[in-house]
Amino acid sequence: MKKFFSLFFVALLAMSGWAGTTSQLEMVAFYDHGDAPVSGRSHFSVVKGPVTMFVGDGQRSTSGHYAVYGYTDSADLTFTSVGAPIVKMEMYCTYGYRAYYLSLADGIDGTWTTSNDVVGVGTTGVWEGNTQFIDFDVRMQVRITRIIFTLAGPVYPNGDVNHDGIVNIADVTALNDYLLRDASLAPIEADFNNDGVVSIGDVTALIDFLLSGGGN
């Protein structure tokens, strides 16, 4: 299944002209809340574009960080991309709650390096590889202020009109809505046939693509 999805995404990259190009996406604790609790601890998820962060045991601070707790049965920290693979991730943590307390779980590819902990600055952890799933073991509490993801392609694949990270029938509906209101407001991913104009031709091309087994 993963091999099929990777081939499917490569085909989308070729259609959109993004082959060989990377893009960046930033998740900021102060703005991107997801369903993270402010009082009390629980598991939570934060979605930013095609990337989802899952915290097994944690909370969000109003001062601007995600608190990820370790040494519990539910301690976990994962990142999943339903779009282009993640090739680099830069994680910024507050002083004393450093990225060093994270380590790659067994079977997870890539490299994980961390900087020294500096007063007033904190620490940075950098993961590099090529995958759609990253899993960390959490040894002690980590406080993450922001994360910058580098993806091996566009943030949103061609045809992902509603920007939920996947291409399906919901994008046909979204594309039709733009055409009925104002096609000039449609995102670049709506130009599915890459002719430079968002029109009924893109609807036809997108439907044909889905009927032929494309999408996910």
List the Cα angle 59/61/63 in 5-degree steps. 165
Supply the mean pLDDT for the chain: 89
Taking only the tens place, the pLDDT of each residue in 131-143 is: 999 999 999 999 9
The C-alpha atoms of residue 204 and residue 22 are separated, in whole angstroms, by 28
Extract the tokens encoding 149.
């993801």
Task: Out of 3.40.605.10, 1.10.645.10, 2.60.120.260, 1.10.1330.10, select the CATH number for domain 1-19+155-216.
Answer: 1.10.1330.10
Does the pTM exceed 0.85?
A: no
Residues of the chain with CATH 2.60.40: 22-151
Extract the tokens encoding 155.
């943030």
Residue that has been written with the tokens 């990259």 in this structure: 13
Q: Which residues contact 216 (CB under 8 A, 6 or more apart)?
A: 5, 8, 82, 166, 167, 168
Taking only the tens place, the pLDDT of each residue in 142-160 is: 999 999 999 998 888 889 9
pLDDT at 37: 96
The C-alpha atoms of residue 105 and residue 109 are separated, in whole angstroms, by 9
The C-alpha atoms of residue 178 and residue 192 are separated, in whole angstroms, by 14
First to last CA, the chain: 11
Residues of the chain with CATH 1.10.1330.10: 1-19+155-216
Cβ atoms of residues 53 and 133 within 8 Å:
no
Taking only the tens place, the pLDDT of each residue in 106-124 is: 999 999 999 999 988 899 9
Residue type, 120: G
Extract the tokens encoding 53.
């962060």
Query: Measuring CA to CA, which residue among 52, 65, 58 is closest to residue 25?
Result: 52
Average pLDDT over residues 55-68: 96
Model confidence at 47: pLDDT above 90: yes
* CATH of the domain spanning 22-151: 2.60.40
Q: What count of other Cβ atoms lies within 10 Å of the Cβ of residue 161? A: 28
Q: What percent of the chain has pLDDT over 90?
A: 71
pLDDT at 188: 87
Q: Which residues contact 101 (CB under 8 A, 6 or more apart)?
A: 70, 138, 139, 140, 141, 142
Model confidence at 70: pLDDT above 90: yes
pLDDT at 216: 65
Average pLDDT over residues 42-59: 95
Taking only the tens place, the pLDDT of each residue in 180-191 is: 999 989 988 999
